[in-house]
Chain A
Amino acid sequence: MAVKLLYFAWVREQTGIGEERVEIPPGVETVADLIGWLKTRGPEFDAAFASGEVVRAAVDQTHVGHDQAIAEAREIAFFPPVTGG
């Protein structure tokens, strides 16, 4: 399953990329699973998700919890708590 991943703010700075397409490996079923897998892809990903519970996620542009299933997802974004306004 190919999915577009997006990273924003300090998550983007730490991973070193803003956007990529990845093939989700079998067994990765939730946002938390995906974070766990991303952390194995290199030290920059490990650092970006070091305090993984702080990083927020959106699936197809809707805020979700880390227990959200991602089987139907087309676009998954990771970012810090928002600070607009």
Chain B
Amino acid sequence: MIRVQAEDFDVGAELERLTAGRTDLGAIVTFTGTVRDRADGREITEMTLEHYPGMTEAELERIEAEARERWPLAASLVVHRYGRLEPGDRIVLVITASAHRHAAFEAAEFLMDYLKTSAPFWKREVSGEGARWVEARSSDEAAARRWRDRGKAAK
């Protein structure tokens, strides 16, 4: 399941809803991404997340489907916010559940790595020096590539 929304989310409530009544789960991993108050030595006062309505949902669904193809997940959820956010605010939630922990851990990391390099979101940070668009990191691209190479090796 995926969701794109401006509103905040409650991690506990999302976890409860996703796993209610399930007795087949042995491992549940949750990842929450939040807004940092510093970036490259500048103090961040606020951030705006722009996205591409329609394509964002399509990409997140595609990434989730790929995770479920690679690992035996019993349940999964991705929630990503857009709009104006402040330091400390939650941005993204990933929950993965499986019978065993390895699949849940790996799938959660995969979902985040792929989301960061393919879901159409753009961060604009505001600091005392003004506003600027965040630049993509080559380390994020390398993290996603690692899974692609592994996928190829497995086939």
Residues of A within 8 A of B (CB): 6, 8-10, 58, 61-63, 77, 79-85
Contacts and interface: CB of A to CB of B under 8 A. Distances in A.
A61 B119 CA distance: 11
Contacts of B80: 84-85
Interface residues of B, number: 28
A65 to B, nearest CB: 14
Interface in B91-133: 91-92, 112, 115-124, 133
A9 B133 contact: yes
Contact of B122 (A58, A61, A62, A80): A80
A78 to B, nearest CB: 11
Interface in B15-67: 33, 49-52, 54-55, 58-59
A61 B117 contact: no
Contact of A61 (B50, B55, B123): B55
B122 A82 contact: yes
B119 A82 contact: yes
A10 B131 CA distance: 11
A82 B124 contact: no
B133 A79 contact: no
Given A83-B116, A85-B91, 12 more contacts: A8-B52, A9-B50, A58-B55, A61-B52, A61-B54, A61-B55, A61-B58, A63-B118, A77-B120, A80-B133, A83-B122, A85-B119
Contacts of B121: 82-85
B60 to A, nearest CB: 10
A80 B117 CA distance: 11
